[in-house]
């Protein structure tokens, strides 16, 4: 039933608060975050001073770079984690994996699991974490996020539909389905993900499939903050609408693939890019 998921989440958070209060204090004071987006969330809530460790690639904000590391998000050093005596671990369910999370719980450490699949669920995650920690800016941060999300929705979601191929990587050629949060970002911008209904979260594909779909825009992310050179390889197929319309776009992965408040920055970049494409197409039609 519709009420089940949110009610279950409320009971889980309430249970964790009870567990925390039974062992020490009602709010966590020593937090280990096992994903970059969770590090960002804690800082956004104004509680960065409670973080005692993070994982590889946790590089925002600048202060996060100085945090001790307990491994990468898929390989956690449990001994190093325990030495830090955390009273709360923030975990990423699909990134860290059920086995790692279960091991940490078996060691007696409370764990909050995050798996936001939509833009709204990022706000929900922020609320959950705010309840579990001493978050002086929690309520204001959640309110600001929801207001910005609503503004973007009002401004862009009703735009004329544009088909989008979101390219995560080039070898192998890989995309993201609407089971990922990127799918929700594309929808927010009035786009239509050509791999929306793929069974896998990150489906592998091939050039022939992209040529058949012939998307209006190709959006690349890659692994770094610079526009990947392989995005321009699509110019080898000039029959593609995205190539003809100069609609080979780039959004830094840290702004569109991390489940943090900065996700809305990436969403706005993509929305603006698609809106510019709509305007170009409208101008072309007016000139004909």
Helix, strand or coil, per DSSP, at residue 177: coil
Q: Residue 149: in which H helix or E strand, if any?
A: helix 138-156
* pLDDT exceeds 50 at position 23: no
Contacts of 145 (CB under 8 A, 6+ apart): 122, 123, 126, 261, 264
Which of these ranges, 4-8, 89-93, 111-115, 213-217, has the smallest mean pLDDT? 4-8
- pTM exceeds 0.85 for this model: yes
Same fold, 4-146 and 157-287: yes
Q: Which residues pair with 165 in a beta bridge?
A: 218
pLDDT digits (tens, 9 = 90+) for 193-236: 999 999 999 999 999 999 999 999 999 988 888 999 999 999 99
DSSP 243: H
**Segment 44-79, tens digit of pLDDT:** 999 999 999 999 999 999 999 999 999 998 899 999
Domain ranges (residues) in the chain = 4-146, 157-287
Residue-level pLDDT at 141: 97
Q: How confident is the model at residue 2 (pLDDT cuts 50, 70, 90)?
A: very low
Do residues 201 and 183 make contact, with C-beta atoms less than 8 angstroms apart? no
CATH class of 4-146: alpha beta
Mean pLDDT value across residues 28-48: 97
Which stretches does DSSP call E strand in the chain?
Answer: 31-33, 51-53, 71-72, 75-76, 88-92, 111-114, 162-167, 169-170, 173-174, 191-193, 217-220, 248-250
Query: Over the stretch 255-287, which tens digit does the pLDDT of each residue have?
Result: 999 999 999 999 999 999 999 999 999 887 776
What 3-state class would DSSP assign to 114?
Answer: strand
pLDDT at 31: 98
**CATH code assigned to 157-287:** 3.40.50.1980
pLDDT for res 103: 96
What was the pLDDT predicted at 284?
77
DSSP string for 28-85? BSSEEE-SHHHHHHHHHTT-GGGEEEB-TT---SGGGGGS-B-EETTEE-HHHHHHT-
Cα separation of the two ends of the chain: 52
pLDDT at 287: 64
Query: Can you tell me the mean pLDDT for 136-162?
Result: 96
- Alpha-carbon span 111 to 128, nearest angstrom: 12
pLDDT at 190: 97
| Chain centre to alpha carbon of residue 153 | 17
Q: What is the per-residue pLDDT for 26? A: 63
């Amino acid at each position: 039933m519709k009420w089940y998921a949110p009610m279950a989440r409320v009971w889980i958070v309430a249970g964790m608060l009870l567990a925390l209060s039974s062992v020490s204090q009602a709010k966590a004071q020593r937090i280990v975050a096992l994903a970059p987006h969770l590090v960002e969330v804690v800082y956004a809530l104004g509680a960065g001073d409670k973080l005692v460790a993070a994982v590889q690639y946790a590089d925002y904000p600048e202060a996060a770079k100085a945090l001790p590391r307990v491994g990468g998000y898929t390989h956690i050093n449990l001994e190093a984690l325990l030495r830090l005596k955390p009273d709360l671990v923030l975990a990423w369910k699909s990134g860290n994996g059920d086995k790692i999370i279960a091991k940490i719980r078996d060691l007696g450490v409370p764990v909050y699991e995050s798996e936001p699949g939509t833009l709204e669920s990022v706000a929900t995650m922020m609320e959950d974490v705010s309840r579990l920690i001493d978050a002086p800016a929690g309520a204001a941060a959640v309110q600001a996020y929801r207001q910005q999300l609503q503004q973007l929705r009002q401004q862009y979601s009703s735009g004329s539909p544009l088909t989008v191929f979101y390219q995560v990587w080039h070898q192998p050629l890989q995309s993201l389905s609407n089971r990922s949060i990127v799918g929700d970002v594309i929808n927010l911008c009035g786009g239509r993900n050509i791999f929306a209904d793929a069974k896998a979260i990150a489906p592998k594909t091939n050039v022939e499939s992209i040529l058949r779909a012939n998307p209006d825009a190709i959006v690349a992310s890659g692994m770094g903050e610079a526009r990947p050179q392989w995005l321009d390889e699509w110019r080898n197929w000039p029959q593609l609408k995205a190539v003809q319309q100069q609609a080979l776009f780039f959004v830094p992965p840290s702004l569109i693939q991390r489940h943090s408040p900065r996700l809305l920055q990436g969403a706005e970049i993509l929305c603006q890019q698609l809106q510019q494409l709509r305007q170009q197409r409208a101008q072309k039609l007016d000139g004909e």
